[in-house]
Amino acid sequence: MKKLLLASAVAAVAVGGYYYSSGSNVPSDPLFSLIPADSPLVVVQTEAYDHFEYVNAMGASEESLYDLFTGIELTPEQDFLVAYLEGYIQSATDKQALKAYLGAPDKVKPVFYTLGMIPVYKIELENTDAFWNTIDKTEQETGASHQLGKQDDIEYRRYKLSHEDAEDIGLVIAVDGNIATFTLDVPLFQDVNPLKLALGIDKPQKAFADSNILTALKSKYGKQYTAYGYLDHQEVVKGFTQPASNLLAQQIDRLQQLSPEPFIEEIRQPSCQSELATIAGHWPRTVSFARYLAQDGQASVDGKVVVESHNRVILNALKSIRGFMPQMTAQDSIFEVGFGLDVEKLAPAINMIWQDLQQPTYQCEWLSEIQQDMGEDNPSMMLSLGASMVNGMKGMHFTLNDMTLDTQNPFALQFEKLDFLFTLSAENPAVLLQTAQMFIPQLSQLALQPNGDAVDLSALIESETGISAPLSARLNDKHLALYSGERSETNSQRVLASPLTAKGLFQFSVNAPRVLELMEQVSDMTGESVPEDLSAGLGGNAVTQVIFDVNDHGFIFGYEHHVKTQK
């Protein structure tokens, strides 16, 4: 059973990975009607876009998929799947080559969903001959073989992905009309093997198209996005804990009959069923939504992943500790990192969360063990002692806008150019500075008045470190700023004028080509080359921003990815 679950998961990731690398586009309404409304995992898109434009703008990865399987002996059929996905990546550098490889139109809109634990990927084709030519060529190159199958009027090819001594799992590829389907066939499931449903022969009792799921997602999170997806925690928990309750449960029932798993039997006890269902009700879904734009020589993807929660205690506790961070606006800085944290409210928030996790006392043995492993000591007491040293702090932020090293002086760190800004935000930052001076004697030489005026620290820094660089500081009743460079000087004034409004918990931004440029400077000084994998990863024209926050919907992971269009 474990081998089967693992193989299914790997195949789902492989097919899902292809979906996302294809531009994660969404289907037309006819495809929506093939998705069961109770599917645990669904990703759709409401607007098609240019496939080649998207992939080319994002840049193809220089890492081969085969690198992920180093040291693993693949069967010819497993090699076929990897080679097919690898060929897609390689063909994505030319528009006509990509069309010839996939047989898909310029604008694509696939769907990805699961039938229980079985993944299904569907995409509209423009040229079915081109699609099958690629399949045939990949077969020949890898030595893979397939079995021909037929369900009603739909013919398909089946490639056995499992080893001889493992449960039989097959990759199924079919074309019905102009729709290509990739899915898995697991004969072990017998009557709950959803191959006919995946091929569109059987229709779901209630389809995604007939539900209000997509409408509700748009209403809740915004209509401006073009891709929406979710993992339904309640359907997953129901499948694992309640026999015969949904398709996932029926598939697990079949596996339990053939090879009982003690853990599954344990969580299917009445106490676990009830308590896990309650937890899933508090944390019902993980939702994702995104949009893709290409204009003015730049391609952008922005979106969010939300772990939805109805647990008001935990959400309110985490919302209370949100702190101040300056807004990230520029894309040409090297990197930025910021933490928003209201330290004064940290210990009370942790206490609220800890108390909530201790109640109720679970009867389910597995949950009870987790609860006991948390221990009896409330961590908020220890946190309150540590937080008292930085009481009043609301957040800190660091931005490196520019830096050029003096490579002619390898024996001492010197800068030809330096532009950075560090800010510490608090109700009374002067008190925090005085506390720091108690532990770092060198800081006692700082004489800052909370009037916002700039104080030159260049001579002090050079005497203490030997580093010659212009460095200044500003202090007022809300912020302490340490900076160098004209741009950071301007930004420091903007930060000092900002109220201590809670903005979030964490933010990070990195400009990949500028980080690589900085690493190459260090490489020139040290004589040590930049590692190839790191150089390849930073080689694109990408600027990425991520945030972590909490709101009334749940935990928020936001991202923006901007790429200058490659010519």
pLDDT given at position 447? 79
| Side chain identity, residue 329 | T
Q: What is the pLDDT of residue 171?
A: 98
Residue 508 in 3-state DSSP? strand
More confidently predicted of 105 and 329: 105
Q: Using CA atoms, how far apart are residues 338 and 398, in angstroms rounded to an integer?
A: 6
The pLDDT tens digits of the residues spanning 518-559 come to 888 888 777 788 887 777 767 677 889 999 999 999 999 999
Per-residue pLDDT band at 329 (split at 50, 70, 90): low
When pLDDT is cut at 50, 70 and 90, the band that residue 19 belongs to is very low
Q: Which of 15, 27, 143, 24 is nearest to 85 (CA)?
A: 15
Residue 145 has φ and ψ, to the nearest 5°, of: -130, 155
Report how many helices (DSSP H) and strands (DSSP E) the chain contains, helices first. Answer: 21, 21
pLDDT grade, residue 474 (50/70/90)? very high
Chain centroid, CA 388 distance in Å? 34
Averaged pLDDT for residues 386-394: 83
Burial (CB count within 10 angstroms: exposed 0-12, middle 13-18, buried 19+), residue 84: buried
Contact 561, 302 (CB under 8 A): yes
Per-residue pLDDT tens over the stretch 349-370:
999 999 999 989 999 999 999 9
Identify which of 74, 60, 71 has the alpha carbon closest to the alpha carbon of residue 10. 74
Sequence letter at residue 269: Q
Round to the nearest angstrom and report the end-to-end CA distance of the chain: 49
Give the mean model confidence (pLDDT) for residues 410-430.
86
d(C-alpha 144, C-alpha 83), whole Å: 11
Mean pLDDT over all residues of the chain?
Answer: 88
59: left (phi over 0), alpha (psi -120 to 50) or beta: left
Find where tokens 């980080």 sit.
Answer: 515
Residue 90: the pLDDT is: 86
Q: Which pLDDT score is estimated for 52?
A: 80
21-40: pLDDT as tens digits: 444 433 346 899 999 999 99
pLDDT band at 435 (very low <50, low <70, confident <90, very high): confident
**By C-alpha distance, which of 347, 330, 469 is closest to 412?**
469
pTM: 0.89
> pLDDT > 90: what percent of the chain?
63
The answer, yes or no, to whether residue 469 has pLDDT greater than 90, is no
Would the pLDDT of 199 be above 80? yes
* Digit-coded pLDDT (tens) for 257-301: 999 999 999 999 999 999 999 999 999 999 999 998 877 777 888
The beta strands (E) that lie in 309-433 are given as 335-340, 393-405, 415-426
Residue 498: the pLDDT is 95
φ and ψ at residue 126, rounded to 5 degrees: -110, -35
**Whole-number Å distance between alpha carbons of 380 and 369:** 22
Burial 85-94 (b: 16+ CB within 10 A, else e): bebbbebbee
The answer to whether 486 and 525 have CB atoms below 8 angstroms apart is: no
pLDDT at site 11:
47
The residue extents of the domains of the chain are 2-215, 309-342+394-428+479-564, 344-391
pLDDT confidence of residue 23: 40
Per-residue pLDDT, 534: 76
Q: Are 181 and 120 in contact (CB under 8 A)?
A: yes
Beta bridge partners of 426: 393
pLDDT > 60? residue 6: no
